[in-house]
Amino acid sequence: MATTKKTATKKVAKKAAPSLKFNTAWEYAPALEGTSHVTIAPQYELFIDGKFVKPESGKYFNTINPATEANLSSIAEANAADVDKAVKAARKAYNGAWGKMSGAERAKYIFRISRMIQEKARELCVIETLDGGKPIRESRDIDIPLAANHFFYYAGWADKLDYAFPNRKPTSLGVAGQIIPWNFPLLMAAWKIAPALATGNTVVLKPAETTPLTALKLAEIIQECDLPPGVVNILTGAGATGAALVQHNDINKIAFTGSTEVGKLIQQACAGSSKKLTLELGGKAANIIFEDAPLDQAVEGIINGIFFNQGHVCCAGSRLFVQESVYKTVLRKLKDRMATLIVGNPLDKNTDIGAINSKQQLDTIHKYITIGKKEGAEMYQTDINLPRKGFYCKPTLFTDVAQSSRIAQEEIFGPVLTVQTFRTEDEVIEKANNTPYGLSAGVWTDKGSKIFNLTTKIRAGVVWANTYNKFDPTSPFGGYKESGYGREGGLQGLAGYLHI
């Protein structure tokens, strides 16, 4: 123990340049989640009409673990003929057992799915992490519980639809074609399937080609739940499979989550048809920090905003706006916080940032990092070693970013944050809205009236005030402008699957 005198000397010596040292005193030993309870078959078929069937295409593709690049399983690739089979099965189920079933009975099936997901949560979260690269902490604490909760929430709506839309007797649409992305594979499947079933539709769902496994596990759960055959069909495949689904004539509804670019193609493909369409697309959200904000919590909000799920989040807070007077403080706090982020094996319970979902996505992120540097922005990355095998990216900040910069305008979909400063409310509102997107935004201030000024004027579907990246089955999610239309979650999420 030091004496007071020694302490005093130390204090004076410190005065020169205070800085904190992280990751040197105590490193955490690897704490790997077990995988012995997990079953991944060497090959998966298409789930059509309640059965796993070989694809008409005869083709299979591999799904890999992006953290190790190791092959996980061989997956059937559905072609137009397979899509047709699945749609016919869905139509048959819609005209048959499912369409005639009472809402109360439908609800029980959906509740069952929710319970079964909870029972198999540990296996599902490990598979989600293996197939997609996200940290086990997130798949365990966020993805899988939210997926189960989503089914549970919508199950309860099935026999109460008349209460949702005043003065209306809503009716189901028919067969829904649903296409989901790779960033939240099971959760997105839940967001699509749960409301579709609750409203009495039948479903053909296509998961993303890099993350098909949990959707196929969900198919097994659906089988185990004794859902009538054909009510849910799951077709694996890539863009061509999705296109075949979108173009199929006997589909009443398309729900798509993915890029704005593909969303526009789908809108055009559905043009002139009677298909009802909801799109949940890209974003470039502003996360706005005022000088009177609770700064330490705001910094945590910045971290959750951009580094959650490796930044593979359409509503990621990828454009940080900090009021000039606290810019230095916020940046210092942010860098200190970034220094404690653990990047590495997604199966390690201590990992904060896992693997980038695919080689292709990693290339995209690297492309933008190069662009950012070329545009003259200053780059900051944490000083860490990345695993040698697998797809990883260091948490990255760009400061001195211009509003016109491509990295501040285009969706990067990775752990890359741009930082800009502002002086006045009007200025930051204008900059925040100066984007074709409008999915989400964050506002941090201790002043209530300022929050409401901002939340009212920002053109975005979800506004988090003094928090960020929160999700709940009861809370509608979806965008303005080029971030898409329609809402998922909550009462509003029913509308996309009903004639009202």
- The residues carrying an active-site annotation are 280, 314
What single DSSP character describes residue 66? T
The SS3 call for residue 213 is helix
Of 141 and 162, nearer to another protein (C-beta) is: 141
What single DSSP character describes residue 143? I
Of 65 and 260, nearer to another protein (C-beta) is: 260
How far apart are alpha carbons 52 and 59 in whole angstroms?
Answer: 15
Nearest distance in Å: CB 57, another protein: 30
Q: Which residues contact 409 (CB under 8 A, 6 or more apart)?
A: 284, 403, 435
Structure tokens at 6: 């020694």
Nearest distance in Å: CB 193, another protein: 20
Of 23 and 57, nearer to another protein (C-beta) is: 23
How far apart are alpha carbons 409 and 282 in whole angstroms?
Answer: 12
Of 31 and 104, nearer to another protein (C-beta) is: 31
Nearest distance in Å: CB 347, another protein: 11
Nearest distance in Å: CB 56, another protein: 30
Structure tokens at 326: 């606290």
Nearest distance in Å: CB 329, another protein: 8
Per-residue CA distances from 48 to 7, 289, 490 (Å): 72, 49, 29
How far apart are alpha carbons 366 and 180 in whole angstroms?
Answer: 24
Of 26 and 58, nearer to another protein (C-beta) is: 26
In 3D space, the residue among 240, 172, 175 whose CA is nearest the CA of residue 205 turns out to be 175
Asked whether the beta carbons of 72 and 65 are under 8 A apart, the reply is: yes
Nearest distance in Å: CB 310, another protein: 17
In 3D space, the residue among 243, 285, 290, 218 whose CA is nearest the CA of residue 78 turns out to be 243
Residue ranges of alpha helices (H) inside 62-168 are: 80-95, 97-100, 103-119, 121-132, 136-138, 144-155, 161-164
Of 131 and 138, nearer to another protein (C-beta) is: 138
